Structure 1
């Protein structure tokens, strides 16, 4: 799959605790956390990677590129 054909995450929705719970992609799709994890692992979404936390759960984070503006926590919110 060509890099330019992969979707990116452009906005996020957080729960009452400030934790990420949903993502909006560059094509306008809205993915819950588990859907986003599956798509990132499948290579369908660029600029994000999955990692295993100390609690053994899988989490998403933006690729480390030195640009804090595209970190998932810093993306615009959507309803």
Structure 2
């Protein structure tokens, strides 16, 4: 099963896309959909206090993908 290996962040530090173990570059929204569909493992979906959906890493030590290398 595919999993996240790298991230791309914007100038604010927000994740905008991911690279998967299959070498695909996918948007944050696509990663949400594929996590929900069970295509990507190691990630989970939750909602913040504002009711917005977000993706987080299943690894308890790195929930916000901070230790993942950049795509570029």
- Same fold flag (TM > 0.5): yes
Structure 2 match to 1:77: 70
Instruction: List structure 1 segments (4+ residues) > 6 angstroms apart after TM superposition.
Output: none
Counterparts of 2:8 and 2:45 in 1: how far apart (Å)? 18
Counterparts of 2:16 and 2:8 in 1: how far apart (Å)? 6
Structure 2 match to 1:3: none
Residues 34-60 of structure 1 show CA distances to partners (whole Å, capped at 9, x for unaligned) of 100000000111100010111111100
* C-alpha deviation, 1:73, in angstroms: 2.1
Query: Would you say 1:45 and 2:40 are equivalent positions?
Result: yes
Query: Would you say 1:21 and 2:32 are equivalent positions?
Result: no
TM norm structure 1:
0.83
* C-alpha deviation, 1:21, in angstroms: 0.6
User: Would you tell me which structure has more strand in proportion to its own residues?
Assistant: 2
Could you tell me which runs of 5 or more consecutive residues in structure 1 were left unpaired when the two chains were aligned: 1-5
Question: How many residue pairs are counted as aligned between the two chains?
Answer: 72
Rg (Cα) greater in structure = 1
Counterparts of 2:28 and 2:54 in 1: how far apart (Å)? 9
User: Would you tell me which structure has more helix in proportion to its own residues?
Assistant: 1
Could you tell me which runs of 5 or more consecutive residues in structure 2 were left unpaired when the two chains were aligned: none
